[in-house]
C-alpha cells in the first residue's frame, strides 16, 4: 500500500514538473511546425486589433492612453502592420493582407507621409519613423502593391524620410540630430534621442540600398556619425544609450539601454554594409553592435529587456513590444550581412524556444507573456496591459525562424515592384525630381536646407506624455 501511494506521488510530481512541456501548444522543430505556430499566433494577435470592425479606426491598436481609449500609442499600430507584413513574407499566409493594406493606407494622413492630424499628439519622429519603416518593408518584400490611385509603399517610405530630412526638423543644438518630438509644444521636444535618429538612419540605409541613390547613404552615414560623436554609442563597449537634452548640449546622457535602440542601428548598419559591398567600416560597426546586442540583451541566449525586466510591472506598454522588433531585425541582419548568420540564428532559435515555452496562459493554454527567461507564463495583467505587445513579440520571433527560407530584401534592380517618388512628403510631388546631393552647408548640425520643404506642419500638433517610453 505504501509502495502504491509512493508511486502515485512520484507520478504526480513528475506530471507537475513536466506540465509546461506537455501542455505547450507551440512547436518550432520543423518548418511546418513553425508555420502552424505562427498561424495561430497571428490569429490570436489579431484579436487585440479592432481596426477591422465597424466604427473603429483602421491601422491602430486601442488607444491612446492619454484619451482613455486603450493601452497603445499610434506608433505601435504601425509596428504591428510591419509584423504582419513580415508574417506574410515568411509564411506565405495572406489571410491578413487586406486588413494590413487598409490600415497602412488609412494612417498616411493628408500629405501621404504618415502625419495624420488626429494622431498629432503622438507624433514623434520615432512614431512617424516606425510607420515609414513598415512601408519600406512592404516595398522590400514585395507586399502586394496598393491600388494605383493610392500612395505606394516606396513613396510612403520616401515621404517619411523627406519630411525628417527637411530643415523644419533640424537645428544647430547638439551639433545636429533629430529631436524626439516634432511639435515645439510637445513635452520631449527638448530631447534628442537615439530612436528618433535611429529610425531615420535605418530608413536612409534601406532607401540607399533599394534605390541606389547615394544621397540616402550620405544622410545615413552622417546620422550614424552624429550618434557616435554625441556619445550615444559607447566608444569602448558599443552599448547604445537613450539620449540627452538640448539645454545641456546633449551631454546629460541618459544611459538607459533599450534593445530596440541598438537593434535598429545594427540593422541599418547591415544594410549599409550590403549597400557598400562589404565596406570594412560598416563590417566593423555591424560586428561591434552585434556583439554588444547579444551581450547586453540575450543572456543565456534569450531576449531580455534590461532596463525593466527584472521587476514585473516595470516595463511600459511600449517596452513590452521591443523583443519582437529585435528578433525581426536581427534575422534580416543575418540575410544582408551573411557573415553574421551563424552567430545570429542559433541565438534566435534558442530565444524563440524560450518564448514559446511560456505561452501557456489563458483559457486556450497558448496565451503569451513577456518574461521568456523564466519559462513560466506571467499574465500580461501583471503589467497592466492587454497583451498585444507580448503576443506580437512571439509571433515575430517564430516567423523570423523562416527568414533563411525567404527571399532577401529586394531592390528596384532585383525585382522590387513598388513605385517611388523622390518628392514625396514635400510641398511638391514629382517622380522625376532627383535628390539634391548633400553639400557643406547641409551637414547635420547646421540649419539643413534641402530640396524638401515641409510647409505649415508644426502648427497642427498637440501635447503628448513625456513618459510614453517611445
Q: What CATH number does domain 33-461 carry, 1.10.357.10, 1.50.10.20, 3.30.1490.100, 2.40.50.150?
A: 1.50.10.20
Cell of 422: 523622390
Length of the chain in residues, anyone?
A: 470
Q: What is the residue-level pLDDT of the chain in tens, covering all 470 positions?
A: 434 433 444 433 333 333 344 457 999 999 999 999 999 999 999 999 999 999 999 999 999 998 899 999 999 999 999 999 999 999 999 999 999 999 999 999 999 999 999 888 879 999 999 999 999 999 999 999 999 999 999 999 999 999 999 998 999 999 999 999 999 988 899 999 999 999 999 999 999 999 999 999 999 999 999 999 999 999 999 999 999 999 999 999 999 999 999 999 999 999 999 999 999 999 999 999 999 999 999 999 999 999 999 988 999 999 999 999 999 999 999 999 999 999 999 999 999 999 999 999 999 999 999 999 999 999 999 988 999 999 999 999 999 999 999 999 999 999 999 999 999 987 533 222 345 444 333 333 322 222 232 333 333 223 223 344 44
Which residues are CB-neighbours of 402 under 8 A, at least 6 positions away? 31, 34, 35, 38, 90, 91
Indicate the domain borders of the chain.
Answer: 33-461
Identify whether the C-beta of residue 266 lies closer than 8 Å to the C-beta of residue 290.
yes
pLDDT at 466: 38
Cα separation values, 390 from 27, 213, 368, 379, Å: 18, 37, 6, 10
pTM: 0.88
Reduce the DSSP state of residue 193 to 3 states and report it: strand
- Tell me what pLDDT residue 23 has: 53
Report pLDDT for 135: 98
103's grid cell: 490600415
Amino acid at each position: 500500500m505504501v509502495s502504491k501511494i509512493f508511486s502515485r506521488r512520484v507520478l504526480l510530481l513528475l506530471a507537475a514538473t513536466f506540465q509546461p512541456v506537455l501542455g505547450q501548444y507551440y512547436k518550432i522543430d520543423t518548418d511546418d511546425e513553425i508555420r502552424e505556430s505562427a498561424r495561430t499566433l497571428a490569429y490570436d494577435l489579431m484579436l487585440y486589433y479592432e481596426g477591422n470592425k465597424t466604427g473603429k479606426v483602421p491601422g491602430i491598436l486601442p488607444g491612446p492612453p492619454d484619451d482613455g481609449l486603450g493601452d497603445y500609442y499610434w506608433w505601435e499600430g504601425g509596428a504591428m502592420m510591419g509584423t504582419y507584413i513580415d508574417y506574410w513574407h515568411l509564411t506565405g499566409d495572406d489571410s491578413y493582407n487586406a486588413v494590413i493594406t487598409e490600415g497602412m493606407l488609412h494612417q498616411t494622413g493628408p500629405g501621404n507621409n504618415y502625419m495624420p492630424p488626429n494622431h498629432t499628439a503622438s507624433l514623434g519622429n520615432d512614431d512617424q519613423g516606425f510607420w515609414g519603416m513598415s512601408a519600406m518593408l512592404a516595398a522590400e518584400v514585395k507586399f502586394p502593391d496598393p491600388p494605383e490611385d493610392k500612395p505606394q509603399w516606396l513613396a510612403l517610405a520616401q515621404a517619411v524620410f523627406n519630411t525628417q530630412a527637411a530643415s523644419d526638423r533640424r537645428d544647430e543644438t547638439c551639433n545636429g540630430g533629430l529631436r524626439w518630438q516634432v511639435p515645439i509644444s510637445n513635452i520631449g521636444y527638448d530631447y534628442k534621442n537615439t530612436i528618433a535618429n535611429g529610425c531615420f538612419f535605418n530608413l536612409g540605409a534601406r532607401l540607399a540600398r533599394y534605390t541606389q541613390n547615394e544621397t540616402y547613404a550620405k544622410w545615413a552615414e552622417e546620422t550614424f556619425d552624429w550618434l557616435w560623436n554625441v556619445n550615444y554609442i559607447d566608444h569602448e563597449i558599443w552599448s547604445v544609450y537613450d539620449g540627452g537634452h538640448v539645454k545641456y548640449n546633449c551631454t546629460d546622457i541618459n544611459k538607459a539601454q533599450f534593445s530596440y535602440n541598438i537593434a535598429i542601428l545594427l540593422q541599418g548598419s547591415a544594410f549599409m554594409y550590403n549597400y557598400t559591398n562589404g565596406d570594412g567600416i560598416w563590417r566593423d560597426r555591424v560586428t561591434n553592435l552585434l556583439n554588444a546586442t547579444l551581450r547586453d540583451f540575450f543572456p543565456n541566449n534569450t531576449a531580455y529587456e534590461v532596463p525593466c525586466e527584472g521587476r514585473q510591472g516595470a516595463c511600459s506598454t511600449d517596452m513590452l513590444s521591443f523583443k519582437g522588433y529585435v528578433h525581426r531585425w536581427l534575422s534580416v541582419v543575418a540575410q544582408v550581412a551573411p557573415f553574421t548568420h551563424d552567430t545570429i540564428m542559433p541565438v534566435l532559435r534558442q530565444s524563440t524556444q524560450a518564448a514559446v515555452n511560456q505561452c501557456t496562459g489563458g483559457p486556450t493554454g497558448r496565451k503569451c507573456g513577456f518574461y521568456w527567461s523564466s519559462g513560466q507564463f506571467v499574465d500580461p495583467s501583471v503589467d497592466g496591459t492587454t497583451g498585444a505587445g507580448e503576443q506580437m513579440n512571439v509571433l515575430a520571433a517564430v516567423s523570423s525562424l523562416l527568414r533563411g527560407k525567404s527571399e532577401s530584401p529586394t531592390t528596384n534592380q532585383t525585382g522590387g515592384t513598388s513605385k517611388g517618388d523622390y518628392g514625396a512628403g514635400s510641398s511638391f510631388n514629382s517622380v522625376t525630381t532627383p535628390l539634391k546631393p548633400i553639400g557643406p552647408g547641409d551637414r547635420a548640425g547646421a540649419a539643413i536646407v534641402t530640396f524638401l520643404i515641409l510647409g505649415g506642419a508644426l502648427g497642427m500638433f498637440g501635447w503628448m506624455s513625456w513618459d510614453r517610453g517611445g
